Chain A
């Protein structure tokens, strides 16, 4: 069984790779390469897999999951310029793909190996038209 919880944060980012020329950055990222940055309301869905505890009926205490998401995601990402204020985006391009991987890496240690729950997927919506899902190393 998989249960998921959703949180939202607002952040800005710049999609430019130092390994590409200005012209290549413009071609690859289009207007998102604007060096002044732009922003999004990101929606993050974290899904946890496991069997419900026979006593509580819960896979993972949702209060605990909320604390993890507040602490590891919102505290870090909300109202930030990702390139300057969130590692590893000083050297990794903060595409929605890399954001999903980073959130997985931040929340996995708090969820996995503590009881019956296991992190199943991290889905990040950058807009209503675009989202990615990461299920860890496959």
Chain B
């Protein structure tokens, strides 16, 4: 019997952002986003936790090749977002507000787009992306697989 397990791995990056919507007035932005609307921006230590679900390979005893997963995270998350000003340096956030929700969705979108090129069709599935902006702000993107 091959057991199905969930494995989670954590990645950390440091970035800055500003919450501001071009669809709102200056006053509405201040009301909606409070101090996160500060025009100069501010920053966080973001943690991204990826949960992979699949059977344990009987030979390797692993559910996922961690080297491949690390390379994917490096290419899709750490390189484009680490040490960046998200609003100014990540194209999607010129128009989309880089809230934890939208950042999580973008991380999820990038990983899923690249996942199929990295892992075989019946290989491990990315079940959940969890992004932590601070101890009190955490967003999960869960796909039923």
User: Are A37 and B35 in contact (CB-based, < 8 A)?
Assistant: no
Q: B82 at interface (Cβ–Cβ under 8 A)? A: yes
Interface residues of B in 11-53 (CB under 8 A from A): 12, 14-17, 35-36, 38, 40-45
A36 and B43 contacting across the interface, CB-CB below 8 Å: no
Query: Does chain B have a CB within 8 A of A8?
Result: yes
Given A78-B35, A79-B35, A80-B40, also A31-B45 (CB < 8 A):
no
The verdict on B134 contacting chain A, using a C-beta distance below 8 Å, is yes
Q: Given the complex of chains A and B, what is the CA–CA distance between A41 and B45 in angstroms?
A: 5
Residues of A within 8 A of B17 (CB): 39
CB of A12 within 8 A of CB of B85, answer yes
B71 → A minimal CB distance (Å):
18
Say yes or no for A38: interface residue by CB 8 A criterion.
Answer: yes
Query: What is the count of residue pairs linking A and B with beta-carbon distances less than 8 angstroms?
Result: 78
Beta-carbon contact of B14 and A39 below 8 Å: yes
What does DSSP make chain B's interface, helix, strand, loop or mixed? strand
Complex alpha-carbon distance, A45 and B84, angstroms: 27
Contacts A40-B44, A79-B35, A81-B41 given; does A127 touch B16 at CB 8 Å: no
Using a Cβ–Cβ cut-off of 8 Å, how many residues does chain A contribute to the interface with B?
A: 23
Give the contacts of A39-80 with B (CB-CB under 8 A).
39-41, 78-80
For residue B65, CB closer than 8 A to chain A, the reply is no
26 A–B contacts, CB within 8 A, in A order: A8-B134, A8-B135, A10-B134, A12-B43, A13-B43, A32-B83, A34-B83, A37-B85, A38-B15, A38-B16, A38-B43, A39-B16, A39-B44, A39-B45, A40-B43, A41-B45, A78-B35, A80-B38, A80-B42, A81-B38, A84-B40, A85-B38, A85-B40, A127-B12, A127-B45, A128-B12
